[in-house]
Amino acid sequence: MYSAKSNPRPISSLPKYPLLGKGATGWVFKINHRIVLKLSIDYNSLAMTYENKMYEILETGEPSPYILQSIFRQPGMNFLPFMPGGSLNVRIRASQTRDKNDMLVAVTKLESLSTVRKWASHITEAAAWLEDLGLAHGDLRPRNMLLDAADNLKLADFDLCAEMGMNIVRTRCPWTRVFQDHDSGGAGDEDGPWGIHSAKTEQFAIGSVLYFVSRGYEPYEVTDGNEATDGTPNRTALWRRGIFPVLGGGSIDTVIGNCWNGVYPTLGRLSEQFADEPRGQCLRVAELAELRSKCEDVAADLAESRGGGDASLIFNDSLTNRLQPPEPF
């Protein structure tokens, strides 16, 4: 959690709106069947401020159908479209059986190849769109990929988005590869070093996401071939040495292997592998205006209930001078 000061008005509940989830940046409340509110739980949440500022940058370009659009923002709050399909992580885990220790026992259902290709198209298009802006998402993993009612995927959560070439702040295997750290003796922990944001690091994460959705479990989460059991030190050590899970010869596995090995010079070239997939749609201008009007009413009501004025935060322009997320406190 990026936080500098506790909120003097706790938001553990908003009587009018059900709580959908709790995240590191904020809590998400359902406003209605079309809108959710991501609300900061800290008075001076640097991550929330950063993400809202990042949305200002994202909105300088033509919208992407695979980026979760912001409907309306005020300091400390961000109104977003409701995604009834939940996260990609929830979708895949719904087809898993796990024991009381949350260890994987079985995968009861696999997604169809057509669905996997559809999601691959959406993920790679979103990453390529950010690349065109000179940005890396920085946290490409299933929890940050949301599904609408038609199973279209939208990339969300931009509090770790940064300029290409900046140091990676934090992540974990298998969504980023740990590189050799000769200065620290090559210790095999998940604290890094992760390297710098690049097409290579972003496509590595995409490869792991495609493995997850095509198998129904994370790389190295089960014992299979040369894979190690999840929870052992071998998992990070294998990534560090560039030893990847065994793949087949199908089109998706070819892309996964290429992503893990950094074959694609740009994310745009990666997205070309799925150029034949149908394209999604952004919110229409009239629809966005209608939703924004509702959000403005809700924001005004919340501001009044929290003592008047705006929602809670004061922007700090210095946070985004170099488009790199603030270090966690």
What does the pLDDT read at residue 228? Answer: 45
Token pair of 4 as six digits: 């500098």
How confident is residue 180, by pLDDT bands cut at 50, 70 and 90? low
Residue 225 has a pLDDT of 46
Specify whether the CB–CB gap between 268 and 127 falls below 8 A: no
pTM of the model: 0.85
For the chain, what is the mean pLDDT? 83
How open is the CA angle 221-226-230, to the nearest 5 degrees?
20
Q: What is the pLDDT of residue 321?
A: 43
CA nearest neighbour of 302 among 292, 311, 293: 311
Other C-beta atoms lying within 10 Å of the C-beta of residue 49:
24
Q: Who wins on pLDDT, 16 or 146?
A: 146
Q: What is the pLDDT of residues 244-271, one digit of tens each?
A: 999 998 999 999 999 999 999 999 999 9
Query: Of residues 33 and 188, which shows the higher confidence score?
Result: 33
Cα–Cα distance for residue pair 161/140, rounded to 1 Å: 10
pLDDT in tens, 219-246: 988 765 444 454 454 677 788 888 899 9
Nearest Cα to 205, choosing from 146, 136, 147? 136
Q: Which amino acid is at 284?
A: R
Q: Is the pLDDT of residue 324 over 90?
A: no
Q: What residue ranges define each of the domains in the chain, with the CATH number in brackets? A: 14-81+284-305 (3.30.200.20), 86-224+231-272 (1.10.510.10)
